[in-house]
Amino acid sequence: MEKLKKYASVKDEDQFYHQGAAELLVFNFLLILTILTIWLFKNHRFRFLHETGGAMVYGLVMGLIIRYATKTSDVESGTVYECEKLKSGPSTLLINITNQVYEYQYKREISHHNVNGHQGNAMLQKMTFDPSIFFNILLPPIIFHAGYSLKKRHFFRNLGSILTYAFLGTAISCIVIGLIMYGFVKAMVHIGQLKAWEFHFTDCLFFGSLMSATDPVTVLAIFHELHVDTDLYTLLFGESVLNDAVAIVLTYSISIYSPKENPNAFDAAAFFQSVGNFLGIFAGSFAMGSSYAVVTALISFMHLTKFTKLCDFPMLEMGLFFLLSWSAFLSAEAAGLTGIVAVLFCGVTQAHYTYNNLSSDSKMRTKQLFEFMNFLAENVIFCYMGLALFTFQNHIFNPLFIFGAFVAVFIARACNIYPLSFLLNLGRKQKIPWNFQHMMMFSGLRGAIAFALAIQDTESQPKQMMFTTALLIVFFTVWVFGGGTTPMLTWLQIRVGVDPDEDLKAQDASQSTSNSDKNTTKAESAWLFRVWYAFDHRY
C-alpha cells in the first residue's frame, strides 16, 4: 500500500511537469510560427498586419484549441476544503494525507465568486497568466531596450514636448477616461446592470490610468521600416517610452488611494498622499536606475583603461553590464520603488555613458542581446494576449461598458494630443504640424502595459470587466490602427525615406543660418536639458 501511494505521488508530480513542458511547447510553437510569418511579411513587404498582430492571431487560434479540445481534470483539483483552524493564509502549507505529507505554496487569494473558474481544466489553469512573470521577466528587457536604443540627440531636441505628452498627457488621459467611464457606470447602475456599491469613482480612475498606457509598437516598427520623418518618430517613441513608466506608477498610486469615508467622495488627505507616493516613487526609481548606470559606466571606464583590461574579454564585460543593469530593476523592486522606471532610466544613462566605454565587440553584442530579448519578450506577450481571450475563465463582456471604454479612449487621446500640441507650438521654433498631430492621435494604440496592469488584479467583478474590455481595445487598436498605419501616412502626406543623420544635419544647417541662434543644441532643446547639457559637457 505504501509503494502504491508513493507511485501515485510520483505519477502526479510527473504529470505536473509534463503539463509545464506542454505549456512551454505551446509558446515555443507560437514563436516559431510568428518568426516564420514575420519573414514572410518582410519578404513580400506586407504591412497591413504587423508581427504583433500576427502573434495575437496565433494566440487566439491556440487558445480556442486549448479551451475546447483539451479534457477537464479530475474533480479533486480545485476542490475547496474548509480549514477553520487557520486564521490567515500561510506561505507554505504541509498537508498529511493518509500518512503521506505534501507541501503546497501560497500563490494568490481567490474570491468566492471566482472559485468555479479555478476548477476543471488543468491546462487552462496552467495557461492563466502570472503577472509576476510579466513584470519581473518579460517587461524589463523591453523597457531597457527602449531606453538603450534611444537616439539621444533627436530625443533631447524634443525633450520638453516629450515630457509634456508623457506626464501631463497621461494625467489628462487618465482623468478624461475616468470621468467618461463614471458617467457610463452611473447609466449601468440606473438600468440595473451594476449595483451602486460595485463600481466606485476610484475604480473608473484606475481604469483610466491603465488605459492611458500607450504602446504603439506596431506603428513604430512600420515607421522604422519606412524611415518616417525623424521628429514624428522621436515624439511618438519618446512619449510611449516615458508614458509606460508614468502609467505604471500612476496606476499604483490610484490603487492605494483610499478615502476614509465615502469612496466616491474627494478626500484631500488621501489625494495628497497618493500624489506624494507618485512623486516619491518616480523620483526614487529614477535616482536608483541612473545611479546603477553611472556605476556601470565608471567600472567600464576602468576596464577600458590600464586598471583591469576586462575589455579584452568581451563575454565577461557583457555579463557584468547585463547583471548590473538587471540589478537596477531588482534593487528598485526590493526598496519598494518601481523597477520599470529604474530600468528605463538605467538604459537611457547606459546609452549615454556606459556604451562609449565598452569595447567594440561588447558594443555590438549588447545591442544585439537586448534587441533579441526585446523581440522574444514582446512576441510572447502578444501571443499570450490572444490566448487569454479563451484561456482566462472569468471574462465579463458588458456591451455598454465596452462601448463607453472605446469612446473614452478616443476622446482622451484627442484631449491629450491637440490641446498640448497647441500649447507646445507657442514656444517651439520648429512647430508640430497638423499632420503630425493627426498621426499621433491615430497612433495611440494600447498594448502590453495596459494588458499587464489590467490582469494584475482580476479578483473582483469590476476588475474582470476592466480586463476583458482592455483586452478587446488592445485587439482593435493593434489590428485596425496598426494595419492602417501605411495608408494613413500616405493620406496625411508625411515624409518617408528620411535618413535620421542627414535630417539632423539639415536642421542644424538651417539653424546655423539664423542670426539669433548660434548654438543648435541650446536653441532647440528644452531649457531643462540646456542646464544639464552645460553641466555634462563641462564635467
Identify the CA nearest to 511 among candidates 498, 521, 502, 526.
521
| 3-class SS letters over 98-135 | CCEEEEEECCCCCCHHHHHHHCCCHHHHHCCCCHHHHH
Prediction pTM value: 0.80
What are the beta bridge partners of residue 95?
A: 102
Length of the chain: 539
What's the rounded Cα separation, in Å, for the pair 530 and 511? 16
Residues 6+ apart with CB under 8 A from 161: 235, 424, 428, 432, 526
Give the pLDDT of residue 129.
63
Q: Kind and range of the H or E element at 53?
A: helix 51-69
pLDDT in tens, 227-278: 788 888 888 888 888 888 888 888 888 877 665 566 666 666 667 777 888 8
DSSP of 346-404: HHHHIIIIIHHHS-HHHHHHHHHHHHHHHHHHHHHHHHHHHHHHHH-S-----HHHHHH
Helix (H, G, I), strand (E, B) or coil at 198: coil
Say if residues 285 and 342 touch (Cβ distance below 8 Å): yes
In this prediction, residue 254 carries a pLDDT of 83
Residue 331, SS3?
Answer: helix
**131-507 CATH choice from 1.25.40.10, 1.20.1530.20, 3.90.180.10, 2.60.40.10:** 1.20.1530.20
The single residue listed with the C-alpha cell 500649447 is 423
In angstroms, rounded to a whole number, what is the distance separating the alpha carbons of residues 362 and 60?
Answer: 39
pLDDT at 345: 87
pLDDT tens digit string along 326-339?
Answer: 889 999 988 888 88
Q: CA 378 to CA 373: how far, in whole Å?
A: 8
Residue 339: CB atoms within 10 Å:
26
Angstrom distance (rounded) from CA 525 to CA 161:
10
Q: What grid cell was written down for 407?
A: 469612446
- Looking at residue 517, its pLDDT comes to 45
Are the C-beta atoms of 460 and 228 separated by less than 8 Å? Answer: no
Q: For residue 218, count other CB atoms closer than 10 A to its CB.
A: 25
Nearest to 317 by CA among 274, 364, 351: 364
Contact, 351 vs 153, CB < 8 A? Answer: no
Q: Which residues of the chain have pLDDT under 70?
A: 1-20, 46-50, 70-80, 84, 87-89, 106-130, 152, 216-218, 257-270, 300-312, 499-529
| Predicted local confidence at residue 469, as pLDDT | 92
Place of cell 466606485: 200
pLDDT score for 518: 43
| Cα-based angle 524, 528, 530 (whole degrees, multiple of 5) | 50
* CA separation for the pair 359, 303 (Å, rounded): 9
| Contacts (Cβ under 8 Å, ≥6 apart) of 391 | 63, 66, 67, 124, 127, 128
| Residue 538 CB partners (closer than 8 Å, separation 6+) | none
